[in-house]
Amino acid sequence: MYWIIALIIYLLLAIGMVISLLVNGIRPAKTLAWLLTIFTIPVAGILLYWMIGRNRRKYSWKDIQEDEAINAYLQRIGQNQGTQIPLIKDSAVFDKLPHLIEKTSGFKPTQNNEVVLLKNGKATFDAIFSALETANNYIYLLYYIYEDGELAERLYALFSKKITEGVKIKIIYDGVGSYTLSKQYIKELKAIGVEVYPFLPFKLGRFLASINYRNHRKIIIVDGKIAFTGGINISDKYLKGDLVLGKWHDMHLQLKGASVLDLQVVFAIDWFLVSGDSSELDIELPKLSKTVGNQIVQIVYGGPDDYFSPIGQTYFSLINNSKKYIYITNPYVIPGTAILRALEVAANSGVDVRLLVSAKADSVLVKWSVRSYFESLLKAGVKIYQFQEGFLHSKIIVSDDEIVSIGTANMDIRSFEQNYEVNALVYDRETAILLKHEFLNEVEHSRSVEYETFKDRPYLEKLKEGFAKVFSPLL
């Protein structure tokens, strides 16, 4: 009798989940993946969907816009930007792409920027600590991973010094990505006057409802004059390597100029989300110098609150509008149908399409999911390389010696639809050529994946790829 009642309850819950999937209108592939999960893994499948499958957001862009203080702050930053250009060049990528980003993410391209490429962890943290030392008014940090270790201790020492100098310091860390950050460290930060908030921390009911929405951004702002963003987190592994994955290869950006205030907008919005307090946003904005640099930068950010996928659509547009070549460096190329077709069409159209991925992966499921797309891409003419010397974590696109995308977003559905991400688009020939050569240099340390060899891989590998691909929409 009890099992009949349990079965009825399970079927009612399953039917409710199916209705939820259909009403939410998510992609067919994701819908089918969740249906398979729900009906092949009884009970656990329903719990998983309840935890990470439903569209449960506490805040929306509408909430942010309706807050008077933060809306006024956004307007002040926009007015302070000075020169913003709606069009850059008379070409598809420079005409359509800036409009696309402005419509979906809100930011126009800005000129008079200085862009510095930081090619590894040491260069990145040397630049970060040098910039933090110059702070006179405020320091903002937003990180997906903030771990205990030597870097964290160096930051604590610097923050202690800066607090005594009257510098305001605000930190946001992700509740899942930074789960190893000790409570004692956080307590010590607060004790010296640093304002610290987790993004969606562990609270059983709320956490289970929001575990799938993580803040994957990495941002530092110093006095509204210097900013950093890219793929590098606050973790000693970027300096010392990893026992399992080896040396971590990643890249970061240092920005000066008008684009810094756009990144400050992103931080301000996230600060409002975690603290609910916008009173501290009434800060004096720096006067922007028109002589900082001559590079054009456009910030694109996105998250699960966006109706459109700003970063996903940006990647699609970059691929679709490339005329000569597009080189993509990313550890997590799990593209989904639209990006997959765009890559295939570009390659079949004669564009030199190359993917540089990591031979090593920090997840078995991710490893086989990435590989599951190789055969189709190789058949279309996409060149694929697996980096051999450690773990490749960079998220970079360079196209046609004209444009570069670098930031926090992977080339997967999670980055497009579920994570809070931020990228910088640099419309600059010199930067593009530099990163093209950097890509070709990394290829020298990689293994080329050949179609004729790959298509004859063992049946067991194909089975692993097929299994992983079914669940890849859920990653």
Q: Could you say which of 162, 249, 252, 395 is catalytic?
A: 395
> Which H or E run contains 252?
strand 252-256
Based on C-alpha coordinates, what's the Rg of the chain?
A: 23
Question: Cβ distance 180 to 147 under 8 Å?
Answer: yes
Look at strands 168-174 and 138-143 and give their pairing.
parallel
d(CA 93, CA 296): 14
Return the closest-CA partner of residue 400 out of 332, 321, 295, 291: 321
Question: Among all chains, which residue has been given the structure tokens 């994946």?
Answer: 449
Look up residue 318 and give its two tokens: 């970059």
Q: Could you say which of 174, 223, 262, 270 is catalytic?
A: 223
| Residue 388: C-alpha distances to residues 161, 356, 445, 446 (Å) | 41, 11, 6, 5
Give just the sign of the alpha carbon dihedral 285, 289, 292, 297.
positive
Question: Cβ distance 392 to 232 under 8 Å?
Answer: no
Question: Among all chains, which residue has been given the structure tokens 């910030």?
Answer: 299
Q: Could you say which of 108, 170, 216, 252 is catalytic?
A: 216
Q: Could you say which of 162, 393, 464, 469 is catalytic?
A: 393
Catalytic residue flag (residue 89)? no
Catalytic residue flag (residue 216)? yes
Return the closest-CA partner of residue 400 out of 310, 466, 324, 345: 324
d(CA 220, CA 459): 47
Catalytic residue flag (residue 249)? no
How are the residues of the chain apportioned to helix, strand and coil, as percentages rounded to the nearest 5?
Answer: 50, 20, 30
Look up residue 386 and give its two tokens: 């697996």
Catalytic residue flag (residue 393)? yes
Question: DSSP secondary structure string, 132-150?
Answer: HHT-SSEEEEEES-B-SSH
Catalytic residue flag (residue 362)? no
d(CA 457, CA 464): 12
Catalytic residue flag (residue 437)? no
Q: Could you say which of 400, 412, 428, 469 is catalytic?
A: 400
d(CA 83, CA 109): 9
Q: Which long-range contacts (CB under 8 A, 24 or more apart) does 153-159 make?
A: 154/129, 155/234, 156/185, 156/188, 156/189, 158/129, 158/132, 158/133, 159/189, 159/192, 159/194
Q: Could you say which of 30, 218, 383, 464 is catalytic?
A: 218
| Residues classed as catalytic | 216, 218, 223, 393, 395, 400
